[in-house]
Structure 1
Amino acid sequence: MALKKHIPNFITLLNLASGLVALVYAFNNNWQMAFFWVCMGIFFDFWDGFFARTLKVSSPIGLQLDSLADMVTSGVVPGMAIFQMLAGIAEMQAELNLESDNFYLGLLPYAGFIITLGSAYRLAKFNVDTRQTNSFIGLPTPANALFIMSLPVIQAYSDGDGVLFELLSNPYVLVAISFISAFMLNSNIPLFSLKLKYFNWETNKVQFSFLILSILLLFFLNYLAIPLIIILYVLVSLVTNKLWHKA
């Protein structure tokens, strides 16, 4: 029993460790590896709660530790990602001697940390919000982190051309994404949870259907599927919530 109760917390610490590794890669603009380690952190985040429930060793410490790990993996890392993207744009503009914009572009990168602030507030609110035991209200930090971390990877794969590259190279688009991200994290939009309590179709048909569709999108669209999946997640939640209310 003494060893069993530490298993979920150990998995949570693996989430935190993954976030720290992702942070180093993000700082060095290695976006593919940063994305990979954020995914690893989210993977561990999925299983720590599952094992805590399965082994019946849930604890207040585990809840707090989970939020602290998520704060790094799904809060600090995506904030750093947008900071680095904006800093790269500012550096490029400085090289072109666009001095009239240098001052503002030098400040803009810090707008990326609006995501980090929004994530911190959401995680604190989540810990005391009893409405979010079986579902989410507002976009979960892992889903938001996947959305944000996919952006620099998509930009890198755009080979410096196309509409997506132009959009993701626009500093004001990235700042707008940061504000929208913080808003979605703390909105009152009800969203279904992907953390499964039981592995059966009847109680998890929405989750399983969504996961199957997500896998298909990933297979056909690769990294481009990530932001589409997150948008789809919000839309499916809105539709299912309306259907449940009507029923």
Structure 2
Amino acid sequence: MLFLQNKFLDMTKHIPNILTLLNLLCGSIAVVLAVNNNLITAALFVFLGIFFDFFDGFAARKLKVQSELGLQLDSLADMVTSGLVPGIVMYKLLEFTIDTPSVSDNSWTSNTNGLDFNLPILPLLGLLITLASAYRLAVFNLDLDQQSYFKGLPTPANTLLIMSLPLIIEFQNNDAINAIILNQWFLIGLTLISCYILNSNIKLFALKFKDFSFKNNATRYIFLILCAVLLIVLQFAAIPLVILLYIIMSVLDNLTSK
């Protein structure tokens, strides 16, 4: 019996890492889809990856198997799902705004000398999100204070913001909103704001419940209720508002706590 218990414990300690690897798998699939201009399905796999990302930490805490390996593996997976993918999606959105054919339409064997840099320059600005996400993840791993709160916008939240853009274009069917999203200056501005907010010093509350009492989690409960209402009413267009609400409520929570 003791042998079986030990075997069970050995198996359960790998569950969080398996969930993290599933996050990485979803992110890798999303990269392939995004490069091939399939941004809607890419968003689906990103959301699935973020789901696994949330539950790997939850599983590690519940099973009491947190480890340095898990921390590093989690950041590596996040770098793909919540770092590389949103950078590529922003690249693609910026590419849509200029009259330049997508390089993904060309065969990789088409260049005879293999040295042609056949990429439009402006859309490369979108990859600044990938760089800012990498820096944020590295800082997060070294910052021992970010246990009950985040300093700067977490990469998954920023990724939800970026991935919501093609979904809004596809499903909201609003010409005015689409014109704003596919405006070069809007996308460039959003890229720069995204890079800043990822690495800002703004303290944002974490959705980690030590208990389920309303008194100790009032901000979290109110936020989740408002999120549900916004998503029901506005659907995908609610996601940018949810991120803005998250930042505003965190700032207000910081002020009231002081």
Q: Which runs of 5+ in 1 are unaligned?
A: 95-104
**Separation of aligned partners in 1, 2:219 and 2:133:** 26
For the 8 Å contact 2:172–2:237, the answer to whether it is kept is no
For the 8 Å contact 2:90–2:123, the answer to whether it is kept is yes
Larger radius of gyration: 2
**Separation of aligned partners in 2, 1:209 and 1:21:** 34
**Separation of aligned partners in 2, 1:197 and 1:47:** 15
1:205-246 CA distances to partner (integer Å, 9 max, x unpaired)?
A: 22122112111111110000000000000000001110000x
Q: TM-score, normalised by structure 1?
A: 0.89
SS of the residue aligned with 1:203? coil
**Separation of aligned partners in 2, 1:140 and 1:82:** 18
SS of the residue aligned with 2:204? strand
Q: Does 1:52 align with 2:60?
A: yes
- Match in the other structure for 1:201: 214
- Match in the other structure for 2:254: 241
SS of the residue aligned with 1:3? helix
Amino acid at match of 1:107: I
**Separation of aligned partners in 2, 1:196 and 1:92:** 48
Cα distance change on mapping 1:195 and 1:32 into 2, 3 Å: farther
Q: Which runs of 5+ in 2 are unaligned?
A: 1-8, 103-118
**Separation of aligned partners in 1, 2:229 and 2:95:** 34
- Match in the other structure for 1:19: 27
Aligned equivalent of 1:78, options 86, 89, 92: 86
SS of the residue aligned with 1:130? coil
The list of structure 1 runs, each at least 4 consecutive aligned residues, that deviate by more than 4 angstroms after superposition, is none
Return the structure number with greater helix share. 1
1:171-207 CA distances to partner (integer Å, 9 max, x unpaired)?
A: 1221111111010000000000013344443332221
Q: Structure 1 residue 71: deviation in Å?
A: 0.6
SS of the residue aligned with 1:22? helix
- Match in the other structure for 1:173: 186
Aligned equivalent of 1:140, options 143, 146, 154: 154
SS of the residue aligned with 2:97? helix
| Identity score, percent | 50
Aligned length: 234
